[in-house]
Structure 1
Amino acid sequence: MNRETFDIQPIGRFYGSSATIRRPKEIACFSYDDQHKFHLGDSSLRYYYPPQLPADLNRGFDSFQKLDDTADEHLDALLDTIVALERETGKKCETDIITWRGMMTKIMTAPFDDMNGFEMNATRFQGTIFIEEHNAYKNEQKRIQNNKRMPPGMASQDLMAYWGYKFETISVLNKTWDATPRAEIESREDLVVNNNAQYCSVARTGIGRVKLVLGGEVDAIWDSKPERRDDPINWVELKTSAKIRNDKDALKYERKLLKFWAQSFLLGVPRIIVGFRDQQGILRRLEEMETANIPSTVKKSGRGTWDGNICINFTAAFLDWLKTTLQEGGTWRLRKAQKSSVIEILKVEDSGTGDILSQNFLTWRATT
């Protein structure tokens, strides 16, 4: 088998009550510091506390310490965390698929997102499928996006991306609210924005008959981590969006909610805070929403832009197919072209695992 395809259309066949979902549960975590150096544990965990309004999201753009994500980091940080977990528990992390939450978001939203394509690399090793982003494709898409001509009066792509990071910076604290001095809370607008630091949760979940381990960045926590490891965690996802001024804006926002929902749903983030800004990047309003309620809110609007149950059922069917299609040994490319309704799998290497699995992970698994 060198090429297989999975049809997204007709999406009507995925209609109906959703496939079984296993509630995402954190099994490990890791952090990147301000220099984007990897650390096991939750040293970069941040606590949500609402910013003062209005807030100028343009402030500090010239001093932005921006993460350079052009290099290919593969799954290294996620695999290092799994090695540490297996050392600690003495048990192999048994699952069907290990990947970044971002990859699953692209797959899950595919039935209703025909504007964006994706390319991923995959390999099967010891019964588990490992999926990563195809880095060259990602960098090329970013280059195209950054070279897009913006309509007159609209901010650049770089500035709009900065607004999102600025919103995160002014909405979080390094410690809980009661342990943070008032002056520190009130001076967050003056902080240098640095998106190198990240807290990443590693969660065990499942969709349909397929078990997953996903790694993904979490913006903040509402209170603090529960003492019992099995209890849900009150994560918070922070997003910015343009103020809704008309029906066209409302439709655009509803489509945006698809990605907001899928991202948070997959990692078990129960709450999303959206900061609405005007065209000049001034933060005007905050809206808090529960992740679980977003699909029904969208359904009630009657615009029919997307359906959460279809996304879940499609994902369950696709992952089931992937499990039976992708064989052990070799490297595969998962690909969906823009405006295409087909996901392709192509074999790109006949043996080994490519660069997807780190030497550290392979050495560890060879000894266990």
Structure 2
Amino acid sequence: MESLPKRPLSPQASLARTKHLKVESITSTAPRDVPVSAPTFTHHLPPPSLSSPPPAPPPFQQPSPLFTYSMAGPSDPSGHRILLFDNSAAASFAPPPMNANLDEGFERCVWRDEIKSVKEGVDGLVRGLERLEGRTGGNKVLGKGKEGFVTWRGVLTKLITAPYEDRNSWELNAMLAPDGNIYVENHKTPDKSPSLYGENPRQKRMTYYGYSFESYCTIPPASSSQSHVRRPDSSNKAKGWGSDVDTNSEWCVVVKTALAGVRLVLGGEVDCVEGTYNGTLRNAIELKTNRLIRSDRDEVFFEKKLLKHWAQSFLLSIPTIMIGFRSDRPPTIQSVQTFRTMDIPRLVRDKPGGWQPGVCLNFGKQALEFIRGVVRDGEGDGRDTGKTVWRIKFAPLKGLEMRPLDASEIPELESGRPPIDNWIPARWGFLPGWMAPNASRVDTNLEADAQEDHQPPSP
């Protein structure tokens, strides 16, 4: 294991400071020059103070894997990816070659439809829980009377790193389901809904470097050749190249955990494991790329990125992060550095631009409690209400805001989702329709029999 270079860091831009963290209700009306239909966020959680001594981290339960699944590219005109309850998209680690060209395979890459990918929401988690225990969602998994959250590792990463986020805004959707759990998905705002890469070729190329590094660091499992996961042709591959990149392919691990007593079911993509998956993530490795560090400014930027690297791996209990440092022109792997996830906070501790895991995890706890309180107060006991969807908005320096979506906003939220067959309604907000309190199954066999019964007799 290596340590970070010892360079002085410039102070990080300060965030908003408040003496006490509290939940506020905003009752003021919109200004006269704002249209009446403009959404008003009715609940607010301010950011924490960064000037006070950092609090001790709250307890975080060791994540326990529940199930895994793979995503494969679409096989029909709908364009939606295929969900497979197997490990066909898993990959095993292989040491990457030095000086490998990260542009390799760029022209052959298969890019997923980002809009359809976002519209998948939490379907993979819901379908996995259904398969695990029947149509009860996460109720039995988390325990009766101990309901919590079902969401993605990326969503919780956003929440716990929010105190140090000074550039990007984001939005989430949340629903309280009849099983008593709160389901949370990412929401793409209209200005971010078009292709994440199509309008920015440079960003697309930079994103590809991460996928390329993964290919150099992995080999497909032996069983993948017999799976539904499409692996692009790599007959002209470079030395050490695993397989051409198909960004539809994804291997997800879903775990059960808890943050300060708030119970969680989290799903997240896992890049690779050493050897083969054995039911735990003790041999899992998170793969990242970074430009070579050539200045103090580069180092400050890198150590800020380490916050999200740490959070992503910590939340799934992935013990190792491997970072490939690359040159610019040509983009080649110059060095590889391995970090123990649990050691990363110590590497940035007491530095001017550092961050504190206690601040992150405490705000994550407060954010979950804030969301839970708002959603449950707005829904009563949540067992027999309509499909209220809550929009959660974060902006740097402002913290979190929440509001219920208007009924006119629900159709757009439901549209474009992967099809759910044989259920009325097909969708309940952003959740599958079978989770609705009044859901009913359509028996297609009975319908066919009825149609036959009403056919006129043959002459």
**TM class by smaller structure:** 0.7 to 0.9
C-alpha deviation, 1:136, in angstroms: 3.7
Structure 2 residue runs without a partner (length 5+): 1-24, 26-40, 75-80, 223-234, 380-384, 411-424, 442-459
CA RMSD of aligned residues (A): 3.0
Q: Which residue of 2 aligns with 1:346?
A: 403
| Residues 1:362 and 1:8: Cα distance change in structure 2 (over 3 Å) | same
Q: Could you give the per-residue CA deviations for residues 259-317 of structure 1, whole angstroms, max 9, x where no partner exists?
A: 111111111111110000011211111111111111111115x1333111110111112
Which of the residues 46, 53, 57 maps onto 2:102? 57
Partner SS for 2:43: strand
- TM-score, normalised to structure 2, is 0.70
Contact 2:313 2:319 (C-alpha < 8 Å) held by counterparts: yes
Q: Which residue of 1 aligns with 2:341?
A: 291
Q: Which residue of 1 aligns with 2:293?
A: 244
Partner SS for 1:26: strand
Count of residues paired in the alignment: 349
Q: CA–CA distance in 2 between the matches of 1:293 and 1:362?
A: 44
Contact 2:48 2:363 (C-alpha < 8 Å) held by counterparts: no
Q: How does 1:1-368 map to 2 (within 5 A)?
A: 3-12=42-51, 15-35=54-74, 36-71=81-116, 72-87=119-134, 92-94=140-142, 95-125=147-177, 126-137=179-190, 139-140=192-193, 156-175=202-221, 187-189=239-241, 191-226=243-278, 229=279, 232-280=281-329, 281-299=331-349, 302-327=351-376, 328=379, 329=385, 330-337=388-395, 339-349=396-406, 354-362=428-436
Larger radius of gyration: 2
Partner SS for 2:84: strand
Partner SS for 1:74: coil
| Residues 1:47 and 1:232: Cα distance change in structure 2 (over 3 Å) | closer
Q: CA–CA distance in 1 between the matches of 2:282 and 2:48?
A: 36
Residue 331 of structure 1 aligns to which amino acid in structure 2?
A: V
Partner SS for 1:214: strand
Q: CA–CA distance in 2 between the matches of 1:240 and 1:118?
A: 23
Q: Could you give the per-residue CA deviations for residues 188-215 of structure 1, whole angstroms, max 9, x where no partner exists?
A: 4384221111100001111112010011
C-alpha deviation, 1:244, in angstroms: 0.2
Q: CA–CA distance in 2 between the matches of 1:272 and 1:100?
A: 19
Q: CA–CA distance in 2 between the matches of 1:348 and 1:309?
A: 33
C-alpha deviation, 1:340, in angstroms: 3.0
Q: Which has the higher helix share?
A: 1
Compare 11-20 and 78-87 and name the one that shifted more.
Answer: 11-20
Residue 405 of structure 2 aligns to which amino acid in structure 1?
A: V
| Residues 1:341 and 1:129: Cα distance change in structure 2 (over 3 Å) | same
Structure 1 residue runs without a partner (length 5+): 149-154, 177-182
Q: Identify which of structures 1 and 2 has the higher relative contact order when contacts are C-alpha pairs closer than 8 Å and 6+ apart.
A: 1
| Residues 1:362 and 1:3: Cα distance change in structure 2 (over 3 Å) | same
- TM-score, normalised to structure 1, is 0.86
| Residues 1:130 and 1:340: Cα distance change in structure 2 (over 3 Å) | same
Partner SS for 1:127: coil
C-alpha deviation, 1:135, in angstroms: 3.1
C-alpha deviation, 1:59, in angstroms: 1.5
Contact 2:220 2:242 (C-alpha < 8 Å) held by counterparts: no
Q: Could you give the per-residue CA deviations for residues 149-197 of structure 1, whole angstroms, max 9, x where no partner exists?
A: xxxxxx8111111111000111101138xxxxxx999844384221111
Partner SS for 1:70: helix
Q: Could you give the per-residue CA deviations for residues 74-119 of structure 1, whole angstroms, max 9, x where no partner exists?
A: 2111111110111499972334000111111111110001211110
